[in-house]
Amino acid sequence: MAKVNDNYLKLPGSYLFSTIGKKVAAYAAENPDKKIIRLGIGDVTQPLTPTIIQALHSAVDEMADAETFRGYAPDLGYEFLRKAIADNDYVARGCDIAADEIFVSDGAKCDSGNIQEIFSTDNKIAVCDPVYPVYVDTNVMAGRTGEYDPATGNWSDVIYMPCTAENGFAPELPKTVPDIIYLCFPNNPTGATVTKDRLQEWVDYANKNGSVIIYDAAYEAYISEENVPHTIYECEGARTCAIELRSFSKNAGFTGVRLGFTVIPKDLKVDGVSLHSLWARRHGTKYNGAPYIIQRAGEAVYSEQGKKETAGLVAYYMKNASYILNGLKDAGYTVSGGVNAPYIWLKAPNGMTSWEFFDYLLTTANVVGTPGSGFGPSGETYFRLTAFGSYENTVEAVDRLKRL
Ligand SMILES: Cc1ncc(COP(=O)(O)O)c(C=O)c1O
């Protein structure tokens, strides 16, 4: 008789976005005349730029001609895209990463969820608290996290690294040494970053202890300050301890188009086994390659015009971010993020919990954000607003908050 993977049964319900959706729908039904502004979900709102659209169109045309038609893409990605990524994101920054160390995929969500498969289920993971939930939930599915404690919202076998106002929302090196360390900078949900020196400490720690860092740099394009590393490979020794995840979603607006990549240096070995080889095997067995048309669009992101247009998109969202950040500061809120990331992390006022503040904002300002407690216990009493809305809506939402 078939049996299910009962690790799935341990997962608590995904209450966060469904609860938000239900509350907003109920409020909207009762108040049809109110204009609700949604600054909750991390999805982009601006269209793909002209250079990307043109690349998509011409790749579609190639598919209509027997001479230029393409079938299955190479499992690991087309050479033209892997090379563009290696040259622009790594070599141009002085990092020693080659095209054959890039694995093209359909996005960082899948990669961040799938990467744990190449590690033993005995490995102990460490995550930031608050955290992008995919890292934890996929390890739960794999049976790596122990038991769930509903009172704390924590798993018994996971090392949590609190990110609080006291440590500037950047975790401390854990005292119990993890085997796998998930880091995400610029961070979702807090919008925090680390300096290069600080990231170097993590790389040194991982190399010393034989840990592997899974570094999610999905928001790299939003870095505006000097001394914030754009890739973990800017750090000495990262080739022997770090895997990096990247996405085209947030820089080029590919959330619906789907494209990302993982970098695994060939020097990265665990017990003498190359993780590059394991991931190549996994990718080749379970994945049939990102579509040709989409990879051509990804290549166009690295063209001179593509880079300009992408910078324009990022600037658009960052204008929203600074409007939110400054507006809320003026209104007396305690806020952070929003400088190197499209997320603003604010402290709920007057001792409110994250959900109390959610309800308060929804009903008084008709603005939707995300309760920080949904990302982990250290997120309690915090709230995330995103800069991915339209400028007009962002301005209106902030002005409403200021008037409260
Ligand atoms: C930290 C982080 N990593 C990965 C992703 C997913 O990116 P993609 O659209 O490439 O799957 C997100 C999306 O919100 C994210 O916040």
Which protein residue's CA is at the shortest distance from atom 14 of ligand 1? Answer: 42
Per-residue pLDDT of the chain (404 residues; tens, 9 = 90+): 999 999 999 998 776 888 899 999 999 999 999 999 999 988 999 999 999 999 999 999 999 999 999 999 998 999 999 999 999 999 999 999 999 999 999 999 999 999 999 999 999 999 999 999 999 999 999 999 999 999 988 999 999 999 999 999 999 999 999 999 999 999 999 999 999 999 999 999 999 999 999 999 999 999 999 999 999 999 999 999 999 999 999 999 999 999 999 999 999 999 999 999 999 999 999 999 999 999 999 999 999 999 999 999 999 999 999 999 999 999 999 999 999 999 999 999 999 999 999 999 999 999 999 999 999 999 999 999 999 999 999 999 999 999 98
The 8-class DSSP code of residue 41 comes to S
CATH 3.90.1150.10 fits 13-42+306-403, yes or no: yes
Q: Where in the chain is the domain with CATH 3.90.1150.10?
A: 13-42+306-403
pTM of full prediction above 0.75: yes
Whether residue 239 contacts residue 275, with contact meaning beta carbons closer than 8 Å, is answered with no
Which CATH code fits 52-302? Answer: 3.40.640.10
Whether residue 321 contacts residue 340, with contact meaning beta carbons closer than 8 Å, is answered with no
271: tokens are 């017990």
Residues with CB under 6 A from ligand 1: 42, 107-109, 112, 132, 184, 188, 216, 218, 247, 249, 255, 260
Which protein residue's CA is at the shortest distance from atom 16 of ligand 1? Answer: 188
Strand 367-368 and strand 37-38: the pairing is parallel
Q: Where in the chain is the domain with CATH 3.40.640.10?
A: 52-302
- CB-CB neighbours of 228 under 10 Å: 20
CA of 354 to the centre of ligand 1 (A): 23
Alpha helices in 120-220 (DSSP H): 134-141, 196-209
CA of 29 to the centre of ligand 1 (A): 31
CA of 189 to the centre of ligand 1 (A): 11
Closest atom, ligand 1, to C-alpha of 132 = 1
| Separation of alpha carbons 368 and 386, rounded Å | 10
